[in-house]
Each structure stands twice: as C-alpha cells, then as structure tokens.
Amino acid sequence: AETPAPAPANIPMTPSAPAPVSTQVDPQLTPNGHYQSLAITEPLSGPVVAREGGTIFVQVKLTPALDIGAGDRMRILIDGDTRIDDSTGQRFLLNDMRNGPHSIIAVIMRHGQNIFQSNPVNITLAGGR
C-alpha cells in the first residue's frame, strides 16, 4: 500500500479579489428579482359575489414594488389561463367570470419567464355569467 504524500506546508495563497461592498442586489442576477412577497389581497379565498357582467376585482400586494426598469410585468391567471398580461398595475378588473370555483394566481414575468408568483386564491363565484 502506498502512503499518501504529506500536504505541502507554507505555500503562499493568492488572495482573491475582495467582494464588492454593496447591499444592493442586481435584479438581473437573482432568479426571482428582489421580490420578498406577492399576495392577492382581493378577493379572499371563499365565496365571492360578482358585479354586473360577471365582473370581479383582483388586487395584489407586492413587496418591494414592481421593477419596471428590469422589464418586470404582472400577469393574472384564472384557472391556469392568462386573463391579464404585461401589466404594471396592482388592481385589475376581470369581466365575464362564470359562476363556480376558480383559482387565481398573480405572476411576475420578466422577459417571458415566470420569476415570482403568489399562492393561489380559490374562490367560488356567484352572480357571474
């Protein structure tokens, strides 16, 4: 059996470049931008009564604010289908909603990629179409 060679000692280490001192994170380098939370605040899960024409409002709360400069946009999915796309708003009007159960998800898109999304809100709509 061979004996492993002893580890060399006193070898000078090449210092690595110091890390930049910055508390800012480049949103292009982080897969979910800089977002901490995205929640649908309206409607809440449970029964929802639509307005005339099967209309409901969807409102989201995003922390921190949408990074429009990075190309981020909001998308609203109803039952997996895109109903609002390429928006910079946080309050949305959805028409022609049908009665029954629906799942609503808010998504932040950057250059066609889903980078952050809310948990689903599950509603049962009455007064819709």
The reported pLDDT for the residue numbered 6 is: 59
Q: What confidence category does residue 31 fall into, taking pLDDT thresholds of 50, 70 and 90?
A: low
Residue that the structure tokens 């470049």 belong to: 17
Average pLDDT rounded to a whole number, residues 46-54:
94
**Rg (the chain; Cα; Å):** 24
Residues 6+ apart with CB under 8 A from 96: 53, 54, 129
d(CA 34, CA 67): 9
The closest alpha carbon to 37, from 9, 76, 63, 14, belongs to: 63
d(CA 117, CA 129): 28
Q: What confidence category does residue 38 fall into, taking pLDDT thresholds of 50, 70 and 90?
A: very high
The reported pLDDT for the residue numbered 34 is: 86
The reported pLDDT for the residue numbered 7 is: 56
d(CA 129, CA 113): 32
Q: What is the pTM of this model?
A: 0.75
The reported pLDDT for the residue numbered 32 is: 66
How confident is the model over 74-105, as pLDDT tens digits? 999 999 999 999 999 999 999 999 999 999 99
d(CA 91, CA 87): 10
d(CA 11, CA 115): 45
- % the chain with pLDDT above 90: 70
Task: Name all domains of the chain by residue range, CATH numbers in brackets.
Answer: 37-126 (2.60.40.10)
Contact yes or no for 120/46 (Cβ under 8 A): no
How big is the chain, counted in residues? 129
